[in-house]
Structure 1
Amino acid sequence: MTIVTKDSDFSDRILLSVPPPKIIHIRIGNVSMRDFHALISSVWEDILTLSKEYKLVIVFKDRLEAVN
């Protein structure tokens, strides 16, 4: 299971759930749907690659971070 969310509470679930779900945490603030789609589309393959190896992938406007 992978959860895609803007809610930081889900990031805490990787500490509490066994086995933990994979989390993709979108942290890009308020943007138009057009800008959201453009950003996510441009990094989606990188997000999927990181998600295979890491429990948490955090998406910022200017970078991706991954946490195990």
Structure 2
Amino acid sequence: MYFVCDLDTRMSDSEIWEHAKRHQLIILTKDTDFLVKSLRDDIGPKVIHFKLGNLSLSELHKYFSEFWSLLVKEIRSAKIILAYRDHIEIIK
């Protein structure tokens, strides 16, 4: 797993997109721009778009404890996952 700060904090969204595409990475984001780009780009990287609102660290930990294995399983065949507080939506 990489974070943008592990690569280069000055990377633009386009550079992040191309890096993920080139290295077959999955973009995990709260940024709607990546969701829109994914809907337009047929061969882009997979995206998990988190629509969780503001969560405390303990709430975020609980969320990932509950949903992480499902996210990992479903992203294998999905192009996009919309991750909400109480469910996920899959776009293939």
Q: TM-score, normalised by structure 2?
A: 0.68
Aligned-residue sequence identity (percent) comes to: 29
User: Which of 1 and 2 has higher RCO (CA within 8 Å, sep 6+)?
Assistant: 1
Of 13, 26, 47, which aligns to 1:2?
26
Unpaired runs of at least 5, structure 2: 1-24
Residue 53 in structure 1 maps to residue 77 in structure 2: yes
Which structure has more strand as a fraction of its residues? 1
Unpaired runs of at least 5, structure 1: none
In structure 1, distance between residues paired with 2:46 and 2:81? 8
In structure 2, distance between residues paired with 1:64 and 1:33? 20
1:1-68 mapped onto 2 (5 Å cutoff): 1-17=25-41, 19-68=43-92
Report the CA distance between 1:15 and its aligned residue. 3.1
- Cα RMSD of the aligned pairs, angstroms, is 1.2
Aligned length: 68
> Does the Cα contact within 8 Å between 1:56 and 1:67 map onto a contact in 2?
yes
